């Protein structure tokens, strides 16, 4: 059993009370939720992916179209980390919260499918997914697993089984629009919810970073669990700047079992 400071325990208790009172709670999750599972985030100083690489030079749509081998060279270590990752206690706790009817949807900026692996059912993937690949030429879509296995182990760039052109992971690169259907669903959840839980997101990437503001503008409560400051800390009901893999299970335990 984890022993928390009096301040942190009070924040956990208050967050649990807000969940028990909520009629339509949703969660917005970012890369900080998956770092305990061994997947690096993008913006942390020294360890984030963008502290080592310039995103427009390795992860943009234009680079993928003109030099896909450059993208795949950068992408292979990340794909390997995602491929072998397992959900951490925060993913599992959120799935339990959904199963209990205490949370209606998870809006995620992550592409790692760890929410689904943990058992979450209603997951809105704002930045795409690694579950499928799409051909850049004929738009044939395939399940990613067998291609990713060969790519991670041997570096084989995935090719379309129909036309032999390059298959692109269905993740959103710089220069691509968000999936329209996912964006509409996320906005609807933000506008309908009476409580939003933000976990592991620095709320720096628009337009997703604006979703909590949409919720606040309609009177929703806001809980933020994130190691770094966000622009909405001053507006949140609860802010806990500690490890999500420890804090989220503690909140969920309090919600479900008192």
**Domain CATH for 16:** 3.40.50.1220
Q: Mark whether 133 and 213 lie in a shared domain.
A: no
- Does 24 qualify as catalytic in the annotation? no
**Domain total of the chain:** 2
Q: pLDDT at residue 251 above 80?
A: yes
Element (H, E) at 60: none
Q: Mark whether 11 and 97 lie in a shared domain.
A: yes
pLDDT-based confidence at residue 242 (cuts at 50, 70, 90): very high
Which domain-ending residue is among 171, 199, 226?
A: 171
Q: Mark whether 61 and 26 lie in a shared domain.
A: no
Query: For the residues 111-138, what does the mean pLDDT come to?
Result: 94
Q: How much is the pLDDT for 149? A: 87
Q: How much is the pLDDT for 44? A: 46
- Could you read off the pLDDT of 142-161 as tens digits, one per residue? 999 889 888 988 888 999 99
**229 φ, ψ (degrees, to nearest 5):** -65, 150
Closest CA to 133 of 116, 150, 119: 150
pLDDT-based confidence at residue 59 (cuts at 50, 70, 90): confident
Q: How much is the pLDDT for 54? A: 59
Of 24, 91, 115, 127, the catalytic one is 127
% of the chain with per-residue pLDDT over 70: 93
Query: For the residues 103-110, what does the mean pLDDT come to?
Result: 97
12-16, 58-62, 132-136: which range is least confident on average? 58-62
Q: pLDDT at residue 91 above 80?
A: yes
Q: Mark whether 241 and 143 lie in a shared domain.
A: no
Q: Mark whether 249 and 216 lie in a shared domain.
A: yes
Q: Mark whether 93 and 215 lie in a shared domain.
A: yes
Q: What's the CATH number where 167 sits? A: 3.30.1600.10
Q: How much is the pLDDT for 170? A: 94
Q: How much is the pLDDT for 46? A: 47
Q: Mark whether 182 and 228 lie in a shared domain.
A: yes
Q: Mark whether 76 and 204 lie in a shared domain.
A: no
Closest CA to 215 of 183, 187, 243: 187
What range defines the domain where residue 64 resides?
45-84+128-171
Q: Mark whether 112 and 227 lie in a shared domain.
A: yes
Query: For the residues 90-103, what does the mean pLDDT come to?
Result: 98
Half-sphere exposure of 79 (CA within 13 A, CB side): 30
Which domain-ending residue is among 137, 171, 205?
A: 171
Q: How much is the pLDDT for 79? A: 86
Q: Mark whether 161 and 95 lie in a shared domain.
A: no
pLDDT-based confidence at residue 194 (cuts at 50, 70, 90): very high
Q: pLDDT at residue 55 above 70?
A: no
Q: Mark whether 163 and 246 lie in a shared domain.
A: no
Q: Mark whether 183 and 65 lie in a shared domain.
A: no
Query: For the residues 218-223, what does the mean pLDDT come to?
Result: 98
Q: How much is the pLDDT for 56? A: 58
Closest CA to 198 of 9, 14, 29: 29
**Which residues on adjacent β-strands are paired with residue 133?**
142, 169
């Amino acid at each position: 059993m984890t022993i928390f400071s009096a301040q942190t325990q009070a924040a956990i208790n208050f967050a649990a009370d807000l969940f028990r009172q909520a009629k339509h709670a949703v969660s917005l999750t970012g890369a900080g939720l998956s770092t305990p599972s061994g997947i690096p985030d993008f913006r942390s100083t020294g360890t984030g992916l963008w502290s080592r690489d310039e995103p427009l030079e390795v992860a943009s749509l234009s680079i993928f179209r003109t030099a896909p081998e450059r993208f795949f060279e950068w992408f292979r270590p990340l794909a390997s980390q995602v491929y072998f990752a397992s959900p951490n206690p925060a993913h599992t706790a959120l799935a339990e919260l959904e199963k209990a009817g205490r949370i209606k949807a998870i809006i995620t900026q992550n592409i790692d499918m760890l929410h689904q692996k943990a058992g979450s059912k209603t997951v809105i993937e704002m930045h795409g997914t690694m579950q499928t690949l799409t051909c850049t030429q004929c738009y044939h879509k395939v399940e990613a697993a067998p291609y990713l296995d060969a790519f991670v182990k041997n570096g084989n760039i995935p090719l379309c089984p129909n036309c032999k052109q390059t298959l692109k992971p269905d993740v959103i690169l710089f220069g691509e629009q968000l999936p329209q259907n996912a964006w509409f669903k996320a906005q609807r959840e933000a506008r309908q919810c009476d409580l939003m839980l933000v976990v592991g997101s620095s709320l720096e990437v628009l337009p997703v970073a604006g979703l909590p503001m949409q919720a606040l503008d309609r009177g929703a409560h806001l809980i933020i669990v994130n190691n770094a400051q966000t622009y909405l800390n001053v507006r949140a009901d609860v802010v806990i700047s500690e490890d999500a893999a420890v804090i989220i299970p503690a909140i969920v335990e309090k919600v479900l079992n008192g």
